[in-house]
Amino acid sequence: MRNSPFLAFAFLLLLSACGPEAQRPHDEANIPGLDVITKADPELEYENLRLYPITAAAGYIENHTAAARFKNLSEAIGNHRFRITEKKPFGRFEDQGAVNTLTVQNKSEDMVFLMAGDVVQGGKQDRVIAQDLAVPPRTITDIAVFCVEPHRWQARSEDGPGAADDPRHSGQNKRIYAFTGYYNVAANDIRRSATQSRNQQQVWDEVGKVTAVHNAQTATGAYAALENSESFTQARARYLRFFEDKFDGAEDVVGVVAVTGNEVIGTDVFAHPELFKKQYKALIHSYITDAVTSGQPVGMKEEEIKAYEENVWRKFRQEGGFEEAKYEFQGMMVHFVDL
């Protein structure tokens, strides 16, 4: 019996429908080498917070090896060859733009990564960093910031233990107001306001909301006044005991998706597992603050996190329109955030 040309054509159509082209919509929603583990893990859930790890393939990690050597702000702030100071105003009058700009001096031999959301303490008022920035060795640059302590505009009277031995506290440096404290990563609403709306009043409003919930208001209105709230610090300590060391031994985790209730509160992806491990210790404070302040028991289903994964990778791929979301340095993606 001879084969019908029509049947042969239909068979070819069937093969093409089952081939790689049929999978294109799904494939294009993912990033080669990166994958969200969408199955909930009880070891990564405590009270109002659940984390979904983002893993990287060996090839992806190898292509981003340079980022493994980056120092983060928590490490660099203790090095006397690295300092952040108030931006010196130009001319005879106060430079109003200087309030939202700090000067970073990196005289060390290390590449230092500053992440939007990092909070520095000192200067004339505490600030939250408003942009991602890799600072090469032996360079001086400015960085965008917002105030997170609205009612202080002078250096603190006490320099803290060890100040006498720190060159940054010399007479000359005191006059330019060095920042020598680090307060982890701010709550996500503050991160979002600093990087997306870029409005100082909105940043202050978000600081006020968080501190008010925990009855941590102070005369200067500082975000770091959360340390004065016993209920907050005790709750945070419980979360930290559970989450802080979860990825210490992970060799392929480069980020997390954080969920409270039925809502994704943030996603952070880094270039390399070593950079993620360093920044995670500070970043987890942001997610914990959200969980303690306004979190709900987690009810996110696997199909919902899968749908979110497809959406977030589309953002990752998009060129333009998400400048505040993906930071690249010398052609290498260093950090991606979705808030």
pLDDT tens for 160-192 read 444 444 444 444 444 447 899 999 999 999 999
Tell me what pLDDT residue 323 has. Answer: 60
Does pLDDT of 112 surpass 90? yes
pLDDT tens digits, 249-286? 999 999 999 999 999 999 999 999 999 999 999 999 99
Residue 19 lies in a domain: no
Tell me what pLDDT residue 8 has. Answer: 46
Residue 82 lies in a domain: yes
Long-range contacts of 5-10 (CB under 8 A, 24+ apart): none
Distance CA 122, CA 85 (A): 9
Tell me what pLDDT residue 291 has. Answer: 99
Q: SS3 letters for the chain?
A: CCCCHHHHHHHHHHHHHHCHHHHHHHHHCCCCCEEECCCCCHHHEECCEEEEEEEECHHHHHHCHHHHHCEEHHHHCCCCCEEEEECCCCCCCCCHHHHHEEEEEECCCCCEEECCCEEEEECCCCEEECCCEEECCCEEEEEEEEECCCCCCCCCCCCCCCHHHCHHHCHHHHHCCEEEEEEEECCHHHHHHHHHHCCHHHHHHHHHHHHHHCCCCCCCCCHHHHHHCHHHHHHHHHHHHHHCCCCCCCCCEEEEEEEECCEEEEEEEECCHHHHHHHHHHHHHHHHHHHHHHCCCCCCCHHHHHHHHHHHHHHHHCCCCCCCCEEEECCEEEEEEEC
Residue 142 lies in a domain: yes
Report, as an integer, the average pLDDT of 233-240.
Answer: 99
Distance CA 328, CA 72 (A): 16
Distance CA 183, CA 119 (A): 5
Instruction: Provide the residue type at 41 as one letter.
Output: D
Distance CA 201, CA 329 (A): 30
Distance CA 206, CA 196 (A): 13
Q: Which of 16-30, 36-50, 313-327 has the lowest mean pLDDT?
A: 16-30
Does pLDDT of 199 surpass 90? yes
Residue 158 lies in a domain: yes
- Among 84, 73, 103, which Cα is nearest to 283's? 73
- Report the sign of the C-alpha dihedral through residues 72, 77, 83, 87, in that order: positive
Structural domain count of the chain:
1
Categorize the per-residue pLDDT at 155 as very low, low, confident or very high, splitting at 50, 70 and 90. Answer: confident
Tell me what pLDDT residue 319 has. Answer: 66
* pTM of the predicted structure, to 2 decimals: 0.85
Residue 9 lies in a domain: no
Tell me what pLDDT residue 99 has. Answer: 81
329 beta partners = 332
Residue 307 lies in a domain: yes
Residue 107 lies in a domain: yes
Report, as an integer, the average pLDDT of 149-164.
Answer: 65
Categorize the per-residue pLDDT at 55 as very low, low, confident or very high, splitting at 50, 70 and 90. Answer: very high
What Å distances lie between residue 11 and 7, 21, 24, CA to CA?
6, 16, 21
Distance CA 289, CA 302 (A): 24
Q: Are 195 and 324 in contact (CB under 8 A)?
A: yes
pLDDT tens digits, 69-98? 999 999 999 999 999 999 987 554 555 567
Domain span at residue 283 reads 31-338
Please provide the size of the chain in residues.
Answer: 339
Q: Which of 169-178, 194-203, 210-219 has the lowest mean pLDDT?
A: 169-178
Residue 326 lies in a domain: yes
Tell me what pLDDT residue 177 has. Answer: 76
334 phi and psi, to 5 degrees? -100, -40
Q: Are 90 and 150 in contact (CB under 8 A)?
A: no
Percent of the chain with pLDDT over 90: 77
263 phi and psi, to 5 degrees? -125, 135
